[in-house]
Structure 1
């Protein structure tokens, strides 16, 4: 696995120097300051590459921008409204500009309205560490009582709705405001910051977009961008829904192995690939992450290795971001499946045998607490996770070398 690290640009509280000292091999970044739907110009791409390439003292960092996360897909594209055709053309132009700059892995998502959803961005653990949490009761309280979405109450089981009624009654104004801010935080570092009215307006724009319509619109998008990616040598990798179940009455079409298989079959090209995010997919009890890697690995172009712990076995439920080797995904088995896929690729001479991986998210520990960094992206918490994942990989490679009778 190629060890990478997400960086949100010069405003990120985790610096290029920090990444260099963490020993990562490459950088994952995006031009979050550009509006969704705009072209990523060669000049803007070069600025980010230059920033990644230098340490504070002006010395070369030895790092390069290797993976884009994310090249955003506009709501217009997802709903096929407004300037959506121009946005698709701009997306393809951005993709070509990135490839001309030497970047050939592009992660994106097709989630309606919000790119990810949590109810608490700094949930305290018994150790004193903090992490991100999705509390289903808190979310129901937000949806029904704060956002006041039409039909929201009917979208939740009776027991959850009743618990939400009690929860909201216990909150003061400051707690309600904090919950709303957490839910609509969106993508860290993104240009957009949504108000409650923005969310309501976006939800209204999705009124005619059923599950079937969103799937069709996604396939239309793929039919335009995937052949272009194949032609120029870019690997596209769609990120799963986060969390992987319906929220706000919106369809979710990248939540299960079946969803991924359907999207890959819709445009059956190697360039049309997968971001296997163990954390997002692991929030559903019916997703088998090691099995998904084994069965879909041929099209996995990017890996997010993180772990979550669910409160129960319901498909829609609460969870929190656990330690990388904690949680309910067998991370050792998942890394083993990744190494097996990489071995298959090397045996067939694939140029992309080494799959880029990043230690996704992490708990805030030690000096992370109070640093004010991007939620979910601490320096020390991710470094701890990266070290653990390195150890798992090294141990598995040593095991395989012993089986083959060679040196590790």
Structure 2
């Protein structure tokens, strides 16, 4: 498995020289300054690639080549948007960048209510409080229908939180939720968010699925011709939120997407944290079921609570059996003869992380800890597989 590191280019306070000290070999990046829906200029791609290579890395994965909101809504000049997306894929392919991660979540890329919640043992982590999110939707946005979307305990505790909160608390909650906007360069106030949500009014799950299917039919053939692997990122969290439908949340959703354009170029980014925050998702089983179509992996962990809340845990803690997931991914690598790129996704804010700025979740020390832990698991599982193969050749039983 190939170790990579997400780097936000000119928007990232962490330098490539610092990333080099983590041991990662590849970079996951994007042209974040290009407006959504516009063609990525060949020269800009080449310049970013040259910058990455000059620091001793390869540019292994694009995360993300964004999907314009009009494509998700099925509105606007779709012909131009599809053509631009295909043109960007072609420019990336000419530079030798063949793995492209994207998502199909309306408006928000991810949603958290706390960006610096206390973590066990010290440091801070990203957290989703169902109670605070219920308070945000019901009491701050005035979405009465959101009562149907939350556990009764979350609704009750959310009402109490709102009653006890001050203006500063509500601003902090709005800031946390808005940090999940793509790139988080521009954010909404309450009225702005309500206006954005209105553009999705009456859009159903079936509507969003149909719009995704149209996107796949428009771009997957081009990706296949170019030798580019597209890999959709799961919803985060994997549930409807803010009245917006989510359609990449379960094993059933993923299977539908893979069948909607049944081509290896239409693949999956296996994000164990996103899928892992839904109680019924079994990540090792999902990793095995879609191994042939997993082109990229985000490895992190979460600790869930019964009301729908979850916290991002240390990578080898939490509810997801990452050892079993990695075992499944190594099996996939062996069967495909591929070197699967992965990254330690998110990380606690630890030690000197608290003294510097960083993109939410994208710390230096915290991700370094996560990468080191995952590196150890990969090394141990790889060695076990070698030993098992040797035993089989010698007629012995494999290790348990």
Matches of 2:117 and 2:40, distance apart in 1:
36
1:323 corresponds in structure 2 to: 314
- For residue 274 of structure 1, what is the aligned residue in structure 2? 268
- 1:24 counterpart residue number: 24
Cα separation, partners in 2 of 1:87 and 1:194, compared to 1, 3 Å = farther
Q: 1:281-300 residue pairs with structure 2 within 5 A?
A: 281-300=275-294
RMSD: 1.6
Runs of 4+ with deviation above 6 angstroms: none
Aligned to 1:365: 350
Structure 1 CA distance, aligned partners of 2:358 and 2:385?
Answer: 39
CA distance in 1, matches of 2:323, 2:148: 40
Distance 1:376 1:176 in 2: 21
The answer to whether structure 1 residue 77 and structure 2 residue 71 are counterparts is yes
The 5 A counterparts of 1:172-187 are 172-187=166-181
Aligned to 2:89: 95
Give the stretch that moved more between structures: 102-111 or 77-86: 77-86
Per-residue displacement from partner, 1:63-104 (whole Å, max 9, x unpaired)?
121100011111100011122332121111111111111100
* Cα deviation 1:354-380 (Å, max 9, x = unaligned): 111000001111111121111101111
C-alpha displacement at 1:149, in angstroms? 3.1
Instruction: Using structure 1 for the length normalisation, give the TM-score.
Output: 0.93
Q: Which residue of 2 aligns with 1:86?
A: 80
Aligned counterparts of 1:335 and 1:169: Cα–Cα separation in 2 = 44
Structure 1 residues 167 and 229, CA, compared in 2 at 3 Å: closer, same or farther? Answer: same
Q: Deviations over 1:92-127 (max 9, x none)?
A: 111111111110000000001111000001111242
Deviating more after overlay: 85-94 vs 192-201: 192-201
Q: Secondary structure of the equivalent of 2:355?
A: coil
Q: Deviations over 1:215-238 (max 9, x none)?
A: 011001100000110011100000
Select which of 135, 141, 144 maps to 2:129. Answer: 135
Cα-to-partner distance string for 1:196-232 (whole Å, 9 max, x where unaligned) = 2232122111113111110011001100000110011
| Higher mean displacement: 230-239 or 120-129 | 120-129
Identify the residue that residue 396 of structure 2 maps to in structure 1.
none
- How many correspondences in the alignment? 392
Separation (CA, whole Å) in 1 of partners of 2:60 and 2:146: 41
Q: Which residue of 2 aligns with 1:340?
A: 331
SS in 1 for 2:329: helix
Partner in structure 2 of residue 104 of structure 1: 98
CA contact (8 A) 2:302 2:320 kept: yes
Check the 8 A contact 1:188/1:375 in 2, yes or no.
no
Counterpart of 2:250 (choices 252, 256, 279) is: 256
TM-score by length of 2: 0.95
The 3 A distance-change label for structure 1 pair 285 and 153 is closer
Structure 2: which 5+ residue stretches go unaligned? 392-400
Further displaced range: 397-406 or 125-134: 397-406
Q: Cα distance, 1:187 vs. partner?
A: 4.1
